[in-house]
Amino acid sequence: MEIIGYSERGLLNSIFYEIKYSPNSSRLLNELLHIFSFPYHKTEFDAENFKVLIEQSFSDLGDSDALLLMDGFRGKQSIFVEAKVKPSQSRYWSIEEEFSAFREEFEKVSSSNLFAQLYFKHRLVRELQKGDDDWHRMELDFPESLLSVSRRNRKIGSNEIVLKAVELLRQYCNEAYYVAVVPEDDSKLRYFHEDVLRNFKSDGFPEWDVGNWGYVSWKRIEDFCRNHDMRNALSVFEFNKGQIY
């Protein structure tokens, strides 16, 4: 049997499931984490046990393409993974244009915007880090300019599975990271993070802090899969050629 997924969701599923069923799954996943770039923070990952939540909903704060919960020598860590691809109908995808839409064109930005997704998860974690036992009643305020995304006040809600996921995240939120998986090449991503995102004046964005934000290009992930002979993931890359980067 061959199972082939579509676009970023299909790829992330294939990658994590192939790692899961590898005889050296923890080593392989740690090696994957080491290709992530964190330009503002020296980061170490050497986890022994992992939980990976795929497409987990956090209600008003959006879904996460993948959430990694890790136990290792540094204690408990978490990584939110948000992925974007270049649709085959588009000539290119630009991280600077994505950020410009988030920063300057709020009337057009949607909740699927990469930076809206990362910012929502960051705010969720910051609230959980406060240690309030009444966290399920949290109501986070966002800038008025983000009203067009949906509501200014965002809540966790009462869905039992969402509450279960947040309760699990609470155990891993003290050291949390946020990774963008995107189509652009490494040189453009380095420039953006070092010269654009780092210098963004965040007035009006409560608790804005990109210190634990990072990135990885889809090309680096495909190279990783090739170097580790991850044939299932490579077949999904091949099927979606032109759709990813």
User: What are the pLDDT digits (tens) for 77-104?
Assistant: 999 999 999 988 888 999 999 999 888 7
Q: How many domains does the chain have?
A: 1
Residue 1 belongs to a domain: no
Is the Cα dihedral 90, 93, 99, 100 positive or negative?
negative
Amino acid 142: pLDDT: 78
Amino acid 222: pLDDT: 98
41-49 average pLDDT score: 92
Instruction: Scan for tokens 């299932």, then name that residue.
Output: 232
Model pLDDT for residues 25-40, shown as the tens digit of each residue: 999 999 999 999 999 9
Residue 75 belongs to a domain: yes
What SS3 class is residue 113? coil
Q: What percent of the chain has pLDDT over 90?
A: 77
By residue range, what is the domain housing residue 207? 7-239
Compute how many other C-beta atoms are within 10 angstroms of the C-beta atom of residue 63: 17
133 pLDDT higher than 80: yes
117 pLDDT higher than 90: yes
Model pLDDT for residues 181-225, shown as the tens digit of each residue: 999 999 999 999 999 999 998 887 889 999 999 999 999 999 999
Residue 27 belongs to a domain: yes
The structure tokens listed for 193 are 């993070």
Residue 207 belongs to a domain: yes
d(CA 125, CA 222): 30
109 pLDDT higher than 70: no
Q: Which helix (DSSP H) or strand (DSSP E) does residue 61 occupy? A: none
Amino acid 146: pLDDT: 56
Residue 118 belongs to a domain: yes
Residue 181 belongs to a domain: yes
Residue 29 belongs to a domain: yes
Amino acid 88: pLDDT: 86
137 pLDDT higher than 90: no
How far, in whole angstroms, is CA 98 from its chain's centroid?
A: 15
Q: Which of 87-91, 103-107, 109-113, 151-155 has the highest mean pLDDT?
A: 87-91
148 pLDDT higher than 60: no
13 pLDDT higher than 80: yes
Closest by CA position to 179, among listed 20, 68, 49, 57 = 68
